Amino acid sequence: MENSTGTYEWEYYYDYIEPVIVDESKLKYHKYSVIIIFWISLSGLVGFLFLTLNLMSHMVSNKCLFETFFSSWVTLVQMI
């Protein structure tokens, strides 16, 4: 159909597209197993990142604590 401006307008009717028929009994996996595996993997990744960042922060704080202790020990030894 042509408009008064001379351009064409296309309309798509998705109601005419038939949905794909799937027999659930022939599926190899349960239909929600992929979603469950995705969320478990995502939570594992978040847990791993949390533990990694937690360990990194403890290493930095222990290093600062060690340097503070070591510098005070060196000054104590120099006084003797």
- pTM, whole model, 2 decimals? 0.46
Secondary structure (H, E, C), 20-44: CCCCHHHCCCCCCHHHHHHHHHHHH
Higher pLDDT, 42 or 7: 42
Q: HSE, CB side, 13 Å, CA atoms: give it for residue 14.
A: 1
pLDDT above 80 (res 69):
no
CA 51, CA 57: separation in Å to the nearest integer? Answer: 10
CA 72, CA 66: separation in Å to the nearest integer? Answer: 10
CA 68, CA 12: separation in Å to the nearest integer? Answer: 72
Q: What is the structure's pLDDT at 73?
A: 60
Each residue of 9-61: pLDDT tens digit?
A: 776 666 667 777 877 787 777 778 888 999 999 999 999 999 998 888 877 76
**Residue in the block written with tokens 């060690």:** 66
